[in-house]
Structure 1
């Protein structure tokens, strides 16, 4: 009996020691702070700015004087007077078609004209003497007019055998060669006056009340880092019923380095300044579920952040327009959002100037 008592006492001491050890262990763990350490982030203050109202569009650059030259008559190319890419003057001969048949017709018509003029002059003198009937005089005068008209007709045919520059400019790639037989309407080359270019573009018709000639436009192309200035010249008188877009045309002030046919991006200054709340572009987290920012708040324990869904707008010079969700003066996390969650404790970067501009 005494042995059982000793064994029970020993077991009680052992289990009591174990229980005491576990109690102390769990007491230490219970009093340990397992909350994550504060996250170091940079913050920016939402501010009110005045932005010009800008309408964006895309368009195509064209020459004010530009044309695709084609043959007006059929025939064999006998002479090409210019080279591809050459600068030409207005009226300069570019290409000649075989005109031997027209030249022969012209010589015959000139001979007929000489005869018709002689007969008319003779009958004119005779009619004054009343030696011939009036009908003969009228016929000789009609023959003279017909001979003159025949010469004019042949000269027009000869003109169709010659392609001349309708204005000064640069010739494009010549698509025919001497000896080729071409039909009427065959494309020969393009002629572009690069000294003055314009941009054709379109915008949704709902913007019509905001548009007027004289608005300033900034034009950018993939071929140059330069921004080109343009002025809105014309607004179409009707809306395209297929696209419901309104066609517009702008004149470029400086076209150095640009070519007709280039794609252009346009920013149209609508001359209507507006006040907007802005944040650094890095402060906004974009997602399909909605754009989010982390707003900096504080409580008795320090700074913390809370996510907030916002509606963002345009981006200009590294700053994003906030259309709703943020008020001017609120502090927003601008760098380090990927480490944050709702209610996360934060420490602000000591020198966040590089992040809050």
Structure 2
């Protein structure tokens, strides 16, 4: 598409030269330009720089592949940290290691875990003591050596001790670690997956207050491909649509399915984020790798296609010059679609059969704008 703002001064001398080179007979029929268009006589020299074509319909232009990158699926990714403060003793994995749910990842030496184990042991001992007291109270009751209320009191204290033990055991289980004695515990994998981030090493002081996870695990059997689709093309992209994921060299890597289309336009690049889900059992798609995505919209209709040179910008509008009468050429506002290989789709404003200026539209626009400025 041509823009008038920078090129208009460049064409002005050409227009003046055309006028100067005409014969006296031609000079008597100069072009008539107004704010609505240009009228040329049949022998006007400007015709040498213009071409008129008849608009016709054709298949929609194929969308250009858009850049993207491979990302983790948040629903298949887990962050792993240390549930208690302590010092890392041993690390059994590295970035890229595949693990199964329950596999040991790293061990931590923790004084806080010693206290939790002690609290659990004390609670367990309290239950044992209360159980013996209840049994003794019942024996005395049978011998009529103690009242019923002592049995009831002992049973109440036993129930209280059991509640305390259950709370202590629940707290210990909630840590999801495996104790190994003397305050040492192992952190295990919460799911099957691959270690995609590793930020832990022996001697590191860790704790639950840490913002960044020590390890991130992700199931890479499925990944997301994040595409940046131009704003002008995103209306043709639909959730559930099948796409092709290729390498930057054009090699087809995988088919995918559009899962999400953002409702927000990135203001600087004027692109819209689109998520594509792809099966990745063979690990061809690697997280953070660059790829391209080819969309295949289901378009059964036909569209008008014109040369890029026929489409010019006038202020905030896009126009094509149309022949409305013999020698009369007027700018008509159009809505464009895709642009590729020197052609532009016209979605509205120009119909099949319309006669339009396919070459020299910018020359006409300069004449119209020159009149409008005066």
Correspondence for 1:193 among 197, 219, 233: 219
Equivalent position SS for 1:166:
coil
Equivalent position SS for 2:353:
coil
Deviation at 1:196, TM superposition (A): 2.0
Compared with structure 1, are the counterparts of its residues 254 and 136 closer, same or farther at alpha carbon in structure 2 (3 Å cutoff)? closer
Residues 133-144 of structure 1: pairs in structure 2 closer than 5 A: 133-134=150-151, 135-144=153-162
Match in the other structure for 2:177: 159
Correspondence for 1:229 among 238, 256, 259: 256
Give yes or no for contact 2:88–2:205 (8 Å, CA) kept in 1. Answer: yes
CA RMSD of aligned residues (A): 5.5
Equivalent position SS for 1:172:
strand
Larger radius of gyration: 1
Equivalent position SS for 2:141:
coil
- Tell me, in whole angstroms, the C-alpha distance in 1 between the residues paired with 2:26 and 2:117: 113
Match in the other structure for 2:287: 259
- Tell me, in whole angstroms, the C-alpha distance in 2 between the residues paired with 1:140 and 1:75: 34
- Tell me, in whole angstroms, the C-alpha distance in 2 between the residues paired with 1:179 and 1:273: 64
Match in the other structure for 1:172: 196
Give yes or no for contact 1:99–1:158 (8 Å, CA) kept in 2. Answer: no
Match in the other structure for 2:57: 48
Compared with structure 1, are the counterparts of its residues 295 and 155 closer, same or farther at alpha carbon in structure 2 (3 Å cutoff)? closer
Match in the other structure for 1:311: 334
- The answer as to 2:82 corresponding to 1:71 is yes
Correspondence for 1:92 among 91, 94, 103: 103
Compared with structure 1, are the counterparts of its residues 284 and 189 closer, same or farther at alpha carbon in structure 2 (3 Å cutoff)? farther
Residues 4-153 of structure 1: pairs in structure 2 closer than 5 A: 39=48, 45-49=54-58, 61-63=71-73, 64-99=75-110, 102-103=113-114, 106=117, 109-110=120-121, 113=124, 116-117=127-128, 120=131, 123-124=134-135, 127=138, 130-131=141-142, 133-134=150-151, 135-153=153-171
Equivalent position SS for 2:107:
strand
- Tell me, in whole angstroms, the C-alpha distance in 2 between the residues paired with 1:217 and 1:272: 13
- Tell me, in whole angstroms, the C-alpha distance in 1 between the residues paired with 2:362 and 2:104: 73
Give yes or no for contact 2:85–2:208 (8 Å, CA) kept in 1. Answer: yes
TM-score, with length taken from structure 1: 0.56
Deviation at 1:117, TM superposition (A): 3.2
- Tell me, in whole angstroms, the C-alpha distance in 2 between the residues paired with 1:279 and 1:309: 14
Deviation at 1:320, TM superposition (A): 2.0
* Number of aligned residue pairs: 290
Equivalent position SS for 1:146:
helix
Deviation at 1:314, TM superposition (A): 0.9
Residues 301-340 of structure 1: pairs in structure 2 closer than 5 A: 308-315=331-338, 318=341, 319-330=343-354, 337=360
Compared with structure 1, are the counterparts of its residues 291 and 221 closer, same or farther at alpha carbon in structure 2 (3 Å cutoff)? farther
Compared with structure 1, are the counterparts of its residues 249 and 69 closer, same or farther at alpha carbon in structure 2 (3 Å cutoff)? farther
Deviation at 1:68, TM superposition (A): 3.5
Give yes or no for contact 1:113–1:148 (8 Å, CA) kept in 2. Answer: no
- Tell me, in whole angstroms, the C-alpha distance in 2 between the residues paired with 1:273 and 1:159: 58
Compared with structure 1, are the counterparts of its residues 276 and 224 closer, same or farther at alpha carbon in structure 2 (3 Å cutoff)? same
TM-score, with length taken from structure 2: 0.54
Structure 2 gaps of 5+ residues are 1-22, 28-42, 179-184, 230-234, 366-374
